[in-house]
Amino acid sequence: MEAVEMKEINVGLVGYKFMGKAHSNALSRLGMFFDCSAQVNKRAICGRDEEWLKKSAEKFGWDSYETRWENLVVRKDIDAIDITAPSNAHKVIAISAAENGKHVFCEKPLAVNLADARDMLECVKKNGVKNQIGFNYRFAPAVQLAKNMIVQGKIGTIRHVRASYLQDFIIDPEFPLIWRLKKEVCGSGSLGDLGAHFIDLARFLVGDFKSVMGMQKTFIESRPIVESMTGLSAQASNKASRGLVDVDDGSVFIAEFENGALGVFEATRFAQGHKNDLSIEINGDKGSVKFVFERMNELQYYSADDEAGLQGFRLIQATEGIHPYMAAWWPTGHVIGYEHTFVHEMYEFYEAVANDKPASPDFADGVECSRVLEAVELSAQRRAAVDIRSL
Ligand code: SOE
């Protein structure tokens, strides 16, 4: 019998720091754990600092490297471009990649503003390439379980959603002015970096936003110029030379959804003691679900249908083979972590590419998220509610 040849998809990755490493790891795990329709190859990694890049290429297992993304996107041996560079670089790279016929995976937020996000969406549509955005928390099995339960009507009609994303890594006023604090590079601060995740989770689990009303604050207005950074750690060279922070340190907003639900949201990097504390709770008339990322293998569930006298929140360990994605990993109870969410999103993207199916969440979801981000900013400036459909 003739052996059937497996399809191959060759990837070019832009970025080699925090997200670059997370994506490289995910691609390395794919074929080992999942039955993929195609073999996904780590063909080339791209970044500006050649010394770092060379080391990263070797360490993360990429076949080759490029120091200019312009060279990467035209390479004939590459089918898909994965963008993990800072947000202001997303648009130009994604558009060039799509114009060169490459499928595009892009980290969140899609762009530094809504207009750019819309241009990116238009371009991938025009060029007919698959596209996906890196809303990785959707891919925690417990979140997928919550989605399935909501679709099955287990919590009934949704009335409330409350979500927060709390970090504390920039509380020290001497923490340097990293790119995540410069509007022209990142678009917005805690809102776009952290809020983008819960806006997406709320859209995924509850539905589309109708209107929002927000407040934003910058607590520390100037910081020492950054010399180097890795992950979320950074060093300043000379503490006397400072620059202005022009994004929000904390953002809060309330929202109304198209389906009538109400929402309360908080994103901050000033919540002392909270390291990466993303949580979302949804209350329906028949029950509630709650997901807390720092306990990401669990889903809390309350059912009003439980026997009287025995009602209460139960803790579901979403680690059984019947839970989404878990059959690919370890025996029940052998928990998974942050990096697995990236493996799951990559699995979905490359399955979509291999089988010519739409990917999800896609750039249209990225645009919807950017719409909400922009509406929150506008409402904070105007001190009034903003209707999402007005943007
Ligand atoms: C930094 O605040 C950050 O790494 C975000 O950029 C990620 O999207 C989030 O998942 C964790 O925190």
Task: Identify the bridge partners of residue 230 per DSSP, sorted by sequence position.
Answer: 233
209-217 vs 250-257, strand pairing mode? antiparallel
CA 206 to chain centre: 17
pLDDT on residue 6: 85
- Determine the distance separating the centroid of ligand 1 and the alpha carbon of 15, expressed in angstroms: 15
CB of residue 276 inside a 6 A radius of ligand 1 = yes
- Determine the distance separating the centroid of ligand 1 and the alpha carbon of 193, expressed in angstroms: 6
Task: Please state, in angstroms and rounded to a whole number, the distance separating the CA atoms of residues 126 and 95.
Answer: 10
Q: What is the position in ligand 1's atom list of the atom closest to the CA of 269?
A: 2
- Determine the distance separating the centroid of ligand 1 and the alpha carbon of 132, expressed in angstroms: 18
Show the tokens assigned to 50.
Answer: 């050649």
Task: Please state, in angstroms and rounded to a whole number, the distance separating the CA atoms of residues 310 and 223.
Answer: 53
Beta carbons within 8 Å of 94's beta carbon, 6+ residues apart = 81, 83, 104, 106, 120, 123, 124, 131
Task: Please state, in angstroms and rounded to a whole number, the distance separating the CA atoms of residues 274 and 264.
Answer: 19
Coil, strand, or helix at residue 121?
helix
CB of residue 167 inside a 6 A radius of ligand 1 = yes
Q: Specify whether the CB–CB gap between 211 and 387 falls below 8 A.
A: yes
Helices (H), the chain: 18-33, 50-60, 69-72, 90-99, 114-127, 141-151, 183-186, 190, 196-205, 338-355, 363-382
Whole-angstrom CA distances from 111 to 85, 230, 310, 356, 367 are 11, 22, 48, 25, 9
The single-letter DSSP state of residue 358 is -
pLDDT on residue 1: 59
pLDDT on residue 194: 98
- pLDDT tens, residue order, the chain (391 aa): 566 688 999 999 999 999 999 999 999 999 999 999 999 999 999 999 999 999 999 999 999 999 999 999 999 999 999 999 999 999 999 999 999 999 999 999 999 999 999 999 999 999 999 999 999 999 999 999 999 999 999 999 999 999 999 999 999 999 999 999 999 999 999 999 999 999 999 999 999 999 999 999 999 999 999 998 888 899 998 777 899 999 999 999 999 999 999 999 999 999 999 999 999 999 999 999 999 999 999 999 999 999 999 999 999 999 999 999 999 999 999 999 999 999 999 999 999 999 999 999 999 999 999 999 999 999 999 999 999 999 9
- Determine the distance separating the centroid of ligand 1 and the alpha carbon of 7, expressed in angstroms: 33
Task: Please state, in angstroms and rounded to a whole number, the distance separating the CA atoms of residues 116 and 269.
Answer: 26
CB of residue 193 inside a 6 A radius of ligand 1 = yes
pTM score over 0.85: yes
Q: What is the position in ligand 1's atom list of the atom closest to the CA of 134?
A: 8
Coil, strand, or helix at residue 53?
helix
Q: List the residue whose alpha carbon is closest to atom 9 of ligand 1.
A: 194
pLDDT on residue 3: 66
Task: Please state, in angstroms and rounded to a whole number, the distance separating the CA atoms of residues 123 and 38.
Answer: 25
Show the tokens assigned to 249.
Answer: 């340190």
Q: What is the position in ligand 1's atom list of the atom closest to the CA of 136?
A: 10
Which of 110, 188, 276, 277 gets mutated to test ligand 1 (max ligand atoms within 8 A of its CB)?
Answer: 276
Show the tokens assigned to 212.
Answer: 């929002």
Show the tokens assigned to 320.
Answer: 């059984």
Q: Rounded to the nearest 10 degrees, how much is the dihedral formed by the CA atoms of 192, 197, 202, 203?
A: 80
Beta carbons within 8 Å of 322's beta carbon, 6+ residues apart = none
Q: ω into residue 141 within 30 of 0, thus cis?
A: no
pLDDT on residue 2: 64
